[in-house]
Structure 1
Amino acid sequence: MRKLILAAGLLTTLSACGGGGGLFNRQRPDEFAVSRQAPLVVPPDFALVPPAPGSPSAASVDSGKAAMDAMFGGSAQRSATETATLDAAGRANAAPGIRSSAGDPATEVVDKGATTRDIIAAPEGDGQDARAVTPTPQP
């Protein structure tokens, strides 16, 4: 009788695992369905107008030239202050193409050591913490 009860219990347990509502066959949430999409909004600026007939299209702009103009100033007129600053810095003595040769791997660089790096990286301040302390002689 014991064997019959044990066999019936074992059959019941195994049938529960193989069916649709078993422990291992439950439905899991879809991890991609959990994230929410941002709602669509109407942009607040309605002042956009179509381009005028005959004006150059945005696709015809040379992006390389626009990037060079943004980096190196292009042909825009310099202000009097900027011109005076460049003249005081020695613009007339500057080597032509120095910006191109500064990042060149063949450019020789002098390593000034860790002390110079620490001085440059030091925080700005009034210098109260940067005082030299003379060691007291030990008797």
Structure 2
Amino acid sequence: MRKLILAAGLVATLSACGGGGNGLLNRGRPDEFAVTRQAPLVVPPDFALVPPAPGTPAAATVDSSRAAQEALFGGPAPRSASESAALNSAGRGTAAAGIRSQAGDPGTEVVDKGATTRDIIAAPEGDGQDARAATGTQTTPPQQ
């Protein structure tokens, strides 16, 4: 008998949730497009298309990526005398155009950073559990 009363109460409670009218979640919302009046589309009075002048490049032949970069960044920036001197002493005129793509080439001249840097680069990847720190001649064992 208790189960029957409980089931009837549950059905009565849930029947209130099924309404489709103006419930808590199904309320009428304002139309966001009706808030402001849209002006009609018109052609501006000074809108005038002129044909390209003779001898100018066609729009299809202009490099759009270069034009966008020039519009964004304005071309190469002028360098100061000290910056130009530093670049010239570093060999700006003798650098290869694609040097960044040839950084791993065996023929690339590099500065020897020493055995420690080579050891760090050649070290196997790990989780750091066997890491050791050395200062001078003392070595600290890993903490356990």
Fold in common (TM above 0.5): no
Relative contact order, higher structure (CA 8 A, sep 6+): 2
TM-score normalised by structure 2 residue count: 0.32
